[in-house]
Structure 1
Amino acid sequence: MTQAVALRDVRKVYGRRSATVAGLDGVTLDFGRGTFTAVMGPSGSGKSTLLQCAAGLDRPTTGEVLIDGEPIGGLDETALTLLRRDRIGFVFQAFNLVPSLSAELNVGLPLRLAGRRPRRSEVRDVLAAVGLGGHAHHRPAELSGGQQQRVALARALVTRPSVLFADEPTGALDSATGREVLALLRGMVDRDGQTIIMVTHDPIAASWADRVVFLADGRVAGELNDPTPQTVSARVNGLEATACAPC
C-alpha cells in the first residue's frame, strides 16, 4: 500500500564545515493513509525538523521524502508551493487567523490564494464539520481559543489535503478545550480517513494517536502503538533521562 508520507534515510544538517549539527540523522519512517501519528521527543530531538522536511517546508540535506508515493526532492520551488497548497494542510499552536476576516473568509482564504472563488457551500460544510456551522460571520476576536483553532482546522481542510500536519495544535488551549480539538482530529481519522501527523510534547495529546514515534538526537528512538498517557510518559521520561545522563 502506498504510504501518505514516507521518509527514506533523511538527514538534515545545519551549519557548515566543522560547525554542523544534524537536525535529522538518517530517519526512515512510513505514515500510512488514514492514520494518526504523534511525534515526540526531548527538546532538540528533531521533531520540528521532521515535520518541516516531511511537509516540504524544508529540503533534506540527503535522503528522500515521498508524498502519496511521489518523491518531492526534485520539485522546484513553484512545484513545492503547489504541493503544499493543494495536498498538504497545516495547523499550528498559533492560530494564524486574519483578525479582520470572518471565520468564513478565513477558511476560504487558501482557495482564494489558489485563484479559486470559494463556493459558500464548501466553506460552510467544512465549518459545520468542525462544529462551527453557526459562526461563519464571527471574527477571531469574537471566538474562544478553541473555536479559533477549529477555524484554523477548517482552513487547513478546505483544500481536502492528503495529509494534515499539526504542530502542537493544543499547546495554546486549556485541557478541556484541548480534548475537544483532539477528539475532532481523532474523528477526522476514524470517520473521514484523514492522515494526521502531529508534533506534541503532551502525553495526553499523544494518547489520542494510533502510534507515537519517538525521536532523540535526530534519530528514531522507538515507536509505541495503541498509546496511553502512562505508557507515553514512561517512554518520554526514559528518553529524557538518557539525554541528561552526562549532565
Structure 2
Amino acid sequence: MEIDDEAAVRLRAVRKVYGAGLAAVTALDEVSVDFAAGTFTALMGPSGSGKSTLLQCAAGLDRPTSGEVLLGGTRLGELDETRLTLLRRDRIGFVFQAFNLLPFLDAESNVALPLLLAGRRPRRAETTAMLAAVGLTDRAGHRPGQLSGGQQQRVAIARALVTRPQVLFADEPTGNLDSATGRGVLTLLRSLVDERGQTIVMVTHDPVAASCADRVVFLRDGRPVGELAGPTPQAVAERMTALETAP
C-alpha cells in the first residue's frame, strides 16, 4: 500500500530489539524521524547509539521490531521479502566503508553490475554517464587494483547511482580513506545533492564529513537527542563531546 508523502524516507515509532529476555538489547527506541527529498542528512552519535541500525532499518536491510518505515509512499513493513528485495534493488543505493568492488571486473563493468543483476542489458551510455558523474571517465577500463582508494569509492558511488535510486544510503563512506581523498568523496556527495537533487543519508563519526550535510541528527542510546542545521565541524564536534561526556 502506498500513501502520499513528501519525505523521501520516514520512520515512525521505530523500535529494534536484538535478542530476547534478559539478553535483549534495544538498539532503537521509538525513533521517529523524516529525511526530506533532495537533502543530505548525517547521522552521528557515540558508539552503540543506534545510528547504523537506524540506517539499516531505513534502507530496508533490517526489519524493525515495531513501528513503520516508509520509502516515499511505500510502507516497507507491508512488503514480503521478494518485494522488499526488488525495492532495494530499484529504489535504494548503498555505499559502505568497504568498496566491495569485484576485483576481476573493470570500473565500467562494476558500475553495470546492478543492472545485470536486475536482468537488464546495460547501455554503454548509462555506465559512461555514471562514471562521468563521479569524475572517472578516463578510468573506465581500470580494475580496482589499478585504482586509488578514493577512485574505488567513486566507482562504488557510481554503481550505487546507476539504477537512479530515490535515496542513497552511505555508512562511513570515507572511513577507509585519508583526509584529502575523503574530502574529495564528500565534495562529490554534496554535488549529487546540489546538482542532481539526490537524497543522501550518511552515517559518520567525523565532524568534517558531517559538516557537508544539510543537517545532522544526533542519537544516543537508540534515540534522537537533537539536530543541527547548517553544521560546521566545530559545532558538530562540540555537540558530540557533550553527548559523549554527559552522564
Same fold (TM over 0.5): yes
User: Does 2:65 match 1:61?
Assistant: yes
**In the alignment, what sits opposite 2:203?**
199
Structure 1, unaligned runs of 5 or more: none
Identity of aligned residues (%): 72
SS in 2 for 1:118: coil
* Deviation at residue 123 of structure 1 after TM alignment: 0.3
User: Does 2:112 match 1:112?
Assistant: no
Distance across 2 between alignment mates of 1:229 and 1:18: 40
Contact 1:6 1:69 in 2 (8 A): no
**In the alignment, what sits opposite 1:46?**
50
- The counterpart of 1:158, out of the listed 141, 159, 162, is 162
Distance across 2 between alignment mates of 1:133 and 1:121: 12
How do 1:93-242 and structure 2 match up within 5 A?
A: 93-242=97-246
Distance across 1 between alignment mates of 2:88 and 2:211: 27
Q: Which moved more, 1:62-71 or 1:153-162?
A: 62-71
Superposed CA deviations along residues 43-92 of structure 1, whole A, max 9, x for unmatched, are: 00001100000000000000000001221101010001001000000000
How do 1:6-45 and structure 2 match up within 5 A?
A: 6-45=10-49
TM-score (norm 1): 0.97
Distance across 1 between alignment mates of 2:73 and 2:84: 15
Superposed CA deviations along residues 9-42 of structure 1, whole A, max 9, x for unmatched, are: 0000011122211100000000000000000000
Q: Which moved more, 1:197-206 or 1:14-23?
A: 14-23
- The counterpart of 2:75, out of the listed 71, 78, 86, is 71
Distance across 1 between alignment mates of 2:223 and 2:133: 37
TM-score (norm 2): 0.97
Aligned residues: 243
Structure 2, unaligned runs of 5 or more: none
**In the alignment, what sits opposite 1:2?**
6
Cα RMSD of the aligned pairs, angstroms, is 0.6
Runs of 4+ in structure 1 deviating by more than 3 angstroms, as ranges, are none
